[in-house]
């Protein structure tokens, strides 16, 4: 849990630096949602901030994922590098890779260490500053209690900037 809190704090500091240094015309997004990690069908929550880099379609995205079930708990946080492309007038798809730190607790013990992830998703605009997102994510942790599997997540995205 301590590693998760540290990763979340580092993500917030990094995101605030990019927000302060970013372009005034850039638009970012704050995402909050829920999902399922398919290792033991563990439900969980997702939080991220997409911060545009330059004027292009690239973004960095500090994130935190929590998957919790009585026999398994996974806390992860880090940074993704995303490519975003429009699909129609109010929707876009995105893909990215990243990593960070994770803590895995199972009935057999617990461990903390590095994690990696790959994400692919869609955002469907419902208003000028709000969208619904759906994403698939492969998550792999490294260490004593390593897990590697897919998660599906969905939620709401709130735009800021621009």
pLDDT tens digits along 83-131? 999 998 889 999 999 999 999 988 888 889 999 999 999 999 999 889 9
End-to-end C-alpha distance for the chain, whole angstroms: 36
Answer whether residue 20 shows pLDDT above 90: no
Please provide the CATH number assigned to the domain covering 2-22+31-161.
2.40.160.20
* Better-scored residue on pLDDT, 110 or 60: 60
Three-class SS state of 22: coil
- At residue 80, the pLDDT reads 97
pTM of the model: 0.80
Beta bridge partners of 51: 60
Locate 4 and state its tokens. Answer: 């998760």
Length of the chain: 162
**Rounded to an integer, what distance in angstroms lies between the CA atom of residue 126 and that of residue 28?**
16
């Amino acid at each position: 849990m301590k590693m998760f809190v540290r990763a979340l704090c580092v993500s917030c500091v990094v995101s605030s630096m990019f927000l302060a240094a970013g372009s005034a015309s850039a638009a970012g997004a704050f995402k909050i949602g829920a999902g399922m990690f398919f290792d033991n069908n563990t439900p969980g929550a997702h939080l991220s901030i997409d911060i545009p880099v330059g004027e292009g379609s690239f973004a960095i995205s500090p994130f935190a994922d929590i998957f919790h079930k009585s026999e398994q708990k996974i806390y992860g946080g880090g940074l993704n590098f995303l490519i975003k492309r429009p699909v129609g007038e109010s929707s876009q798809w995105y893909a990215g890779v990243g990593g960070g730190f994770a803590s895995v607790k199972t009935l057999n013990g617990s461990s903390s260490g590095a994690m990696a992830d790959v994400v692919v998703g869609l955002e469907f605009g419902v208003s000028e500053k709000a969208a619904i997102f759906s994403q698939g994510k492969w998550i792999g942790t490294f260490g004593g209690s390593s897990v590697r599997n897919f998660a599906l997540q969905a939620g709401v995205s709130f735009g800021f900037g621009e």
